Amino acid sequence: MIITVTLNPSQDKTLRVDGLRLDSICRADILRITAGGKGINVCRAIKRLGGDTIALTLLGGATGGLIASLLKNEGISFQYTPITGESRTCLSLIDSLKKTETIINENGPSVTVPEQQSFKSMYGGAIGKGDIIVISGSAAAGIDSAIFPGLIETAHQRGAATILDASGEFLAAGVKAIPNVLKINKQELAHLAGKPLNSRAAVIEEMKNLTALGIGRVIITDGGHRTLALSGGEGWQVTPPRVEPLSTLGSGDCVSAALAMGMERDIPFEAALVEAVAAGAQNTQSYGAGIIDKEGVIKLSSLTMIKRVY
């Protein structure tokens, strides 16, 4: 089973606001409303690719109830810890005239220590040997970054494998627990390294430093550009197919989803990489995160190029 963790879920609204202007009244069309948060996006993509998955999260207030309803409507399995705070709403503003996408993310609720303990208990009871655990994003207010290494260590103690996709202090803390797979973007890698990475050689050097810690696979995405990956002392470069994007929101989560499915099904890493990059590209063809089509991913996989870089 693939299990995802989302510690600051949201109700995601995608709005088309053509001619978006500041300090003015703008009219918007609702394009899509979904349950959101990186782990939930991963679940959606896995389900659309034909996999089995469950989302573990925190929900509170009226918005939390809406998120639960949206998950049920999509048929996404989930477990949650109730919290007293109000779950957040996030907005994606699409201006098709200016070709821009503006994301407004509410900070979300504050989660108490007892609520965090309840989540950890639920998490520990949900995972088991052979599971793939995807820990994504950051966390709601009140949750210390130490929660990520704790979740990774618990998973490893239970015989589960982990994929980490985080940023900032949550990324730095999670790396210390040595996840099996690290999937982040180039900007996050530079922040983790504490210096700019202006060449492929510099990126690969930092990736090698991470694998030297014991992280089995490191995958670095770069928007619609080439993805680099290291595993078992071997390196690959993956070039995505050329597509005209409608929205890039959630493409990284689709990469994580396909990587997790590749691990669960024990397919060759090179093949999983190709499908993961194709899934990220296919996500850009729809509004909303993780709204991918399996046949579309297969088609784009045939147009995705991979080569050994050493």
Model confidence over 83-101: pLDDT tens digits? Answer: 999 999 999 999 999 999 9
Distance CA 189, CA 239 (A): 19
Fold of 2-308: UDP-N-acetylmuramoyl-L-alanine:D-glutamate ligase (3.40.1190)
State mean pLDDT over 31-60: 97
* Domains of the chain by residue range: 2-308
Percent of the chain past pLDDT 90, that is, above it, reads 97
Distance CA 213, CA 146 (A): 18
User: What pLDDT score was predicted for residue 38?
Assistant: 98
Beta bridge partner(s), residue 238: 227, 306
Give the confidence band of 224 by pLDDT, cuts at 50, 70, 90. confident
Work out the mean pLDDT of the chain and round it to a whole number. Answer: 96
User: What pLDDT score was predicted for residue 249?
Assistant: 93
* pLDDT of 267 above 90: yes
Reported as a single tens digit per residue, the pLDDT across 168-182 is: 999 999 999 999 999
Distance CA 146, CA 172 (A): 10
Q: Name residues whose C-beta falls within 8 Å of residue 261's C-beta, 6 or more positions apart in sequence.
A: 2, 46, 49, 51, 272, 275
Give the confidence band of 139 by pLDDT, cuts at 50, 70, 90. very high
User: What pLDDT score was predicted for residue 159?
Assistant: 98
Distance CA 50, CA 297 (A): 12
State mean pLDDT over 180-204: 95
Grouping H, G, I as helix, E, B as strand and the rest as coil, residue 108 is coil
DSSP string, 251-297: HHHHHHHHHHHHHHHT--HHHHHHHHHHHHHHHTTSSSTT---HHHH
User: What pLDDT score was predicted for residue 28?
Assistant: 95
* pLDDT of 193 above 90: yes
State mean pLDDT over 192-218: 95
Q: Where are the alpha helices (DSSP H) in 158-268?
A: 168-175, 186-193, 200-212, 251-265
Residue indicated by tokens 């040997």: 129
Give the confidence band of 73 by pLDDT, cuts at 50, 70, 90. very high
Reported as a single tens digit per residue, the pLDDT across 276-297 is: 999 999 999 999 999 999 999 9
User: What pLDDT score was predicted for residue 233?
Assistant: 87
User: What pLDDT score was predicted for residue 52?
Assistant: 95
User: What pLDDT score was predicted for residue 310?
Assistant: 82
User: What pLDDT score was predicted for residue 290?
Assistant: 96
Grouping H, G, I as helix, E, B as strand and the rest as coil, residue 4 is strand
Count of other CB atoms within 10 angstroms of residue 261: 23
State mean pLDDT over 29-42: 97
- Where residue 142 falls (left for φ over 0; alpha for ψ -120 to 50; beta otherwise) is left
